[in-house]
Chain A
């Protein structure tokens, strides 16, 4: 038995010191792999990206980007000069992304929350429905979105068949993946794919609400709706604070959905910022401007996240008092 604590030979002063160093060093050692990888794949490239945004990095310098000339804030000036085409289209893309994100987050959150509350207590088929509702989230983005591309086809798609041939709502078959309709097509696909995540999180959050609260409320004569308003929603506040932020950031930065839905050339009405920057970088090979746009995007997200956290945390604190 090694564990005998009265063994006089075991904990000599030297060994104890070694153990202390091990004890202090151990957490860092455990964190090291995660830290190195995050540095290599996220933080170092981010710094490089910021450096690149101050360079005139066009296709002539791409082989040896270190030799590209500095331009100071040149790339930023081009990006935010809203009277010139580059800045104008960036601003347009920004507004499209804001509108898209607000609508998508609102619908995802609403659908997820309502569904989770409806499915809070047990009924027949609940487990089955829960699995079914999670399918869109589980599907790989490209497989799911490509199915929607098929459904939105002009001649052989399901959407036009139903709206035009079967319900006669539209006078002639519409185009969904080009023109103004593309915004709604993108929104529908994104909500379809994204709401189960909100459902999942809210469902998990609901399980942490103590049952006694509901019991006490119903003894006091509170009805179903009152219980939802007075117990369920307030208890979900901390969950919602994180959920809405995560949904917002993921939606705002989403590249996969529009990229698979529209291919490389997104229609103007659905020109999300990530795809816009991708095109600005890879189609025109102007990586300096693309980097400047990315940095501006990051700054915007930092500010929004900061303001959001300050506002929601303050609200939470005063609600607790």
Chain B
């Protein structure tokens, strides 16, 4: 964001090719966003007949109807509870783990990092069914309902974002000077005090970035949500398909609902994206 990275002014041909390229790309990126926004303000007849770029009339009816066509508010709450809880747990656990890897030498350190990272490689489909059986069996044995509950979904989602979060925070913590937490240790803080009072505040951008990532992961997941939820715990990922399985397809409502469920994440992401880039620059990409 600072000054130009090459001191020489770029040649005109470069500037023109950049203009053309970025304009085309912006078009490609924006068309679906425009369709989502414009269709959500159209009357039903506009979305069942031939596609029209401009609505025949603007209406906010779809935004009112979405809440009654399917129990969207309930799905929204479920998604919110699951995503917030998964994010909080994931961030706290990742902070502890990354601190251990960044600040201590211990046996099995490499095995730990490699194992955790390699879980990213597993096809979700491989552990979907075993996990389902495991949750059912844990439920039968202990009475803790994991299958079909929000708890089970929280548990699953937080492990999805954990490997990447730990990986990114290790790099971020490494960039916080050790002198800082050693000074805190000398001042009488325990190791946890040093972590919470010195390292965490210095690594806030990285932690914010990780939280954004964890929230997006939980908010957008479809596969496990479609198998592991029931009527009362259904999340948006599954609930949104409710508009399309009815006899009529209310495309204007689908688009309105898509927009409503997207706004929180997109707004949050765009507000905090600079932290994500900063976090990636300091950590993962180094």
Q: Which residues of A contact B (CB under 8 A)?
A: 2-3, 24, 26-28, 30-31, 33-35, 37-38, 40-46, 48-49, 52, 65, 111, 114-115, 118-123, 127, 129-144, 146-151, 155-158, 160-161, 165, 192, 200-201, 203-209, 211, 214-215, 218, 223-224, 227, 239, 242, 246, 249, 252-253, 255-256, 259-260, 273-274, 277-278, 281, 287, 290-291, 294-295, 297-298, 301-302, 305
Q: Which of B7-21 contact A (CB under 8 A)?
A: 7-8, 10-11, 14, 18, 21
The reply to whether the CB of B93 lies closer than 8 angstroms to some CB of chain A is yes
Q: Which residues of B contact A (CB under 8 A)?
A: 1-8, 10-11, 14, 18, 21-22, 25-26, 28-33, 35-36, 39, 47-51, 93-94, 96-97, 99-101, 103-104, 106, 109, 112, 115-116, 119-131, 133-134, 155-156, 158-159, 162-163, 166, 186-188, 191, 216, 219-223, 226, 236-237, 240-241, 244, 251, 254-255, 258-259, 261-262, 265-266, 269-270, 273, 276-277, 280-281, 284-286
User: Roughly how many angstroms separate A281 CA and B123 CA in the complex, as a whole number?
Assistant: 14
Asked whether A155 lies within 8 Å of B50 as measured between CB atoms, the reply is: yes
Secondary structure dominating the interface of A:
helix
In order of increasing CB-CB distance, the 9 nearest A-B pairs are A45-B130, A45-B127, A204-B280, A48-B130, A143-B258, A138-B269, A30-B100, A121-B4, A294-B126
Q: Which residues does chain A contribute within 8 Å of B129, judged by CB atoms?
A: 49, 52, 281, 287, 290-291
Asked whether A114 lies within 8 Å of B220 as measured between CB atoms, the reply is: no
Asked whether A158 lies within 8 Å of B10 as measured between CB atoms, the reply is: no
The distance from the CB of A224 to the nearest CB of chain B, in whole angstroms, is 6
Q: Of A27, A35, A129, A294, which one neighbours B104 at CB under 8 angstroms?
A: A27
**Told that A142-B258, A205-B281, A305-B121 touch, could you supply 17 new A-B pairs with CB distance under 8 A?**
A26-B104, A33-B97, A37-B159, A45-B127, A48-B133, A49-B127, A133-B26, A134-B269, A139-B265, A143-B36, A143-B258, A151-B31, A161-B50, A211-B5, A218-B7, A256-B222, A273-B123
Q: Which residues does chain B contribute within 8 Å of A294, judged by CB atoms?
A: 123, 125-126
Asked whether B106 lies within 8 Å of A204 as measured between CB atoms, the reply is: no
User: Roughly how many angstroms separate A119 CA and B19 CA in the complex, as a whole number?
Assistant: 11
Q: Of B10, B50, B123, B158, which one neighbours A298 at CB under 8 angstroms?
A: B123
Q: Which residues does chain A contribute within 8 Å of B94, judged by CB atoms?
A: 34
Q: Which residues does chain A contribute within 8 Å of B119, judged by CB atoms?
A: 38, 42-43
User: Roughly how many angstroms separate A141 CA and B28 CA in the complex, as a whole number?
Assistant: 17
User: Roughly how many angstroms separate A54 CA and B121 CA in the complex, as a whole number?
Assistant: 22
Asked whether B285 lies within 8 Å of A201 as measured between CB atoms, the reply is: yes
Given the known inter-chain contacts A27-B106, A214-B6, A218-B7, please indicate yes or no for A138 contacting B265, CB distance below 8 A. Answer: yes
Asked whether A34 lies within 8 Å of B134 as measured between CB atoms, the reply is: no
Output the nearest chain A residue to B254 by Cβ-Cβ distance: A146
| Chain A-chain B contacts (Cβ-Cβ < 8 Å), number | 293
User: Roughly how many angstroms separate A190 CA and B284 CA in the complex, as a whole number?
Assistant: 24
Given the known inter-chain contacts A3-B188, A224-B10, please indicate yes or no for A148 contacting B32, CB distance below 8 A. Answer: yes
Asked whether B35 lies within 8 Å of A26 as measured between CB atoms, the reply is: no
User: Roughly how many angstroms separate A86 CA and B136 CA in the complex, as a whole number?
Assistant: 29
Asked whether B223 lies within 8 Å of A143 as measured between CB atoms, the reply is: no
Q: Of A38, A114, A135, which one neighbours B116 at CB under 8 angstroms?
A: A38
User: Roughly how many angstroms separate A137 CA and B270 CA in the complex, as a whole number?
Assistant: 10
Q: Which residues does chain B contribute within 8 Å of A239, judged by CB atoms?
A: 285
Q: Which residues does chain A contribute within 8 Å of B259, judged by CB atoms?
A: 143
Given the known inter-chain contacts A65-B133, A224-B11, please indicate yes or no for A42 contacting B33, CB distance below 8 A. Answer: no
Asked whether A255 lies within 8 Å of B133 as measured between CB atoms, the reply is: no
Asked whether A151 lies within 8 Å of B32 as measured between CB atoms, the reply is: yes
Output the nearest chain B residue to A26 by Cβ-Cβ distance: B191
Given the known inter-chain contacts A48-B133, A48-B134, A118-B18, please indicate yes or no for A34 contacting B262, CB distance below 8 A. Answer: no
Asked whether B221 lies within 8 Å of A256 as measured between CB atoms, the reply is: yes
Asked whether B240 lies within 8 Å of A146 as measured between CB atoms, the reply is: yes
Given the known inter-chain contacts A3-B187, A298-B126, please indicate yes or no for A259 contacting B223, CB distance below 8 A. Answer: yes
Output the nearest chain B residue to A117 by Cβ-Cβ distance: B18
Asked whether B127 lies within 8 Å of A42 as measured between CB atoms, the reply is: yes
The distance from the CB of A214 to the nearest CB of chain B, in whole angstroms, is 5
Output the nearest chain B residue to A24 by Cβ-Cβ distance: B106
Output the nearest chain B residue to A219 by Cβ-Cβ distance: B7
User: Roughly how many angstroms separate A52 CA and B126 CA in the complex, as a whole number?
Assistant: 11
Output the nearest chain A residue to B257 by Cβ-Cβ distance: A143
Q: Which residues does chain A contribute within 8 Å of B265, judged by CB atoms?
A: 138-140
